Each structure stands twice: as C-alpha cells, then as structure tokens.
C-alpha cells in the first residue's frame, strides 16, 4: 500500500507532506498505518471543502492498494472524525515541502 499525504493552507500557508510505502516500513508502523487506513472509511474519490471559512488547513490523502485508488481532499471544517487519527499519524511522519 502506498499513502501520499499533503497538508497545506492555514494562516502560514506552509506545505507539509509524506509519501509512505508499507513495504518499506517496520512491522509495527506498517500495522498501525494499515489499521488507520482501514478504519478511516476513505473510499473512492471524495472532495469536501468549506465555503464559509478561510485560512483552514487543507488535507489531501491518496491511498493506492493493489488495483484500487482512494482519495480524500478536505479542510479542517469538513474533515471526517474517523479520518482524524490517520491525519495525526501522517502528520507525525510529514516534513516541510516546497509547494
């Protein structure tokens, strides 16, 4: 499984991100990531952004597994509760990126 994560926006506008491949992770980290992806409920292609709020952080997650691709694009206001643990995990591994 490959997981691509990008976080942008907010008041600072910085971009953070990480690209993870479960084949290259240690068994504990791989198991935790696989569990968080499975419980996140991310399926298909979903894009949800708030029309009323500005300067929110925006998140993009793309999950590639076997022949399936699932993605979620959202902001702080529209982030589903069950995705939050996955976002926390990905943020722990993310680093600053150039836009």
Q: Look at residue 52 in the predicted model and tell me its pLDDT.
A: 80
Low-confidence ranges of the chain (pLDDT < 50): none
Task: Count structural domains, the chain.
Answer: 1
Tell me if the pTM is above 0.85.
Answer: yes
Question: What is the domain extent for residue 49?
Answer: 2-97
Across the strands, what pairs with 3?
A: 20, 63
Question: How wide is the angle at C-alpha 6 spanned by C-alphas 39 and 76, nearest 5°?
Answer: 70
d(CA 99, CA 45): 23
pLDDT for 41: 96
């Amino acid at each position: 499984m490959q997981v691509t994560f990008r976080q942008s926006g907010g008041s600072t506008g910085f971009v953070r991100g990480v690209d993870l491949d479960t084949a290259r992770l240690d068994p504990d980290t791989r198991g935790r990531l696989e569990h968080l992806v499975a419980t996140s409920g991310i399926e298909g292609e979903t894009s949800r952004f708030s029309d009323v709020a500005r300067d929110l952080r925006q998140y993009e997650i793309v999950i590639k597994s076997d022949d399936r691709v699932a993605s979620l694009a959202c902001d702080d206001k529209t982030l589903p509760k069950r995705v939050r643990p996955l976002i926390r995990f990905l943020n722990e591994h993310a680093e600053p990126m150039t836009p």
